[in-house]
Amino acid sequence: MILSQEEVNHIALLARLGLSNEEVERFREQLSNILENFAILQEVDTTDVPPTAQPIPLQNILRQDDVDSSLPCEEVMANAPRREGNYFRVKSVLGKS
């Protein structure tokens, strides 16, 4: 298999995705299988071929920095899992929560 258990755990950490032990093992197998299939790309000669990031020839779309109305605060905050006044409440980032 292409991926080790440590690598799966490392990727999950990068993605901040909690996984159960069972998920780690299942993804190790499934992702290894999928990645093995991607190996066929290595047979394509891409010397001097530029990458395509998106398919339309538009670049650097600029607009005037006009003052416009924003969404009503109450409607935006209505989806907040935890709030305090007009602030989103989060667990402490530094030190103990």
Partner 1 sequence: MELCQLTIHQAHELLKSREISSVELTKASLERISQVEEKVHAFVSISSPSISQAEASDEMIRKGEITLLTGIPVAIKDNMCTQGVRTTCSSRMLESFVPPYNATVVERLISAGMVMVGKTNMDEFAMGSSTENSAFSPTYNPWDVGRVPGGSSGGSASAVAVDEVIYALGSDTGGSIRQPAGFCSVVGLKPTYGRVSRYGLIAFASSLDQIGPLTKDVTDCAIVLNVIAGHDPRDATSVPYPVPDYTQSLLHNADTIPDLKGLRIGVPREYFVAGIQSGVDEVIRTAIGKLAELGAEVDWDVSLPHTSYALSVYYIIAPSEASANLARYDGVKYGFSYQEAGSMWDALEKTRQFGFGPEVKRRIMLGTYALSAGYYDAYYLKAQKVRTLIRREFDEAFSGSTTKKRFDALVTPTSPTVPFELGEKMDDPLQMYLSDVCTLPISIAGVPAISIPAGFVNGLPVGMQIIGKPFSEETLLRIAYAYEQATEWHKMRPLI
Residue ranges binding partner 1 (CB under 8 A): 3, 7-8, 11-12, 14-20, 23, 27, 30-31, 33-35, 37-38, 40-42, 44, 46, 49-56, 58, 61, 63, 71-72, 75-76, 78-82, 88, 90-93, 97
- The helix-helix angle for 5-14 and 21-38 (nearest 10°) equals 100
Choose between 20 and 67: whose C-beta lies nearer to partner 1: 20
DSSP state of 71: P
What element of type H or E holds 87? strand 87-88
> Which of 57, 50, 51, 7 lies closest to 29, judged by CA?
7
- How many CA atoms does the CB half-sphere of 80 hold within 13 Å? 15
Q: How far is the CB of 94 from partner 1 (least distance, A)?
A: 9
Q: How far is the CB of 67 from partner 1 (least distance, A)?
A: 15
Q: How far is the CB of 33 from partner 1 (least distance, A)?
A: 6
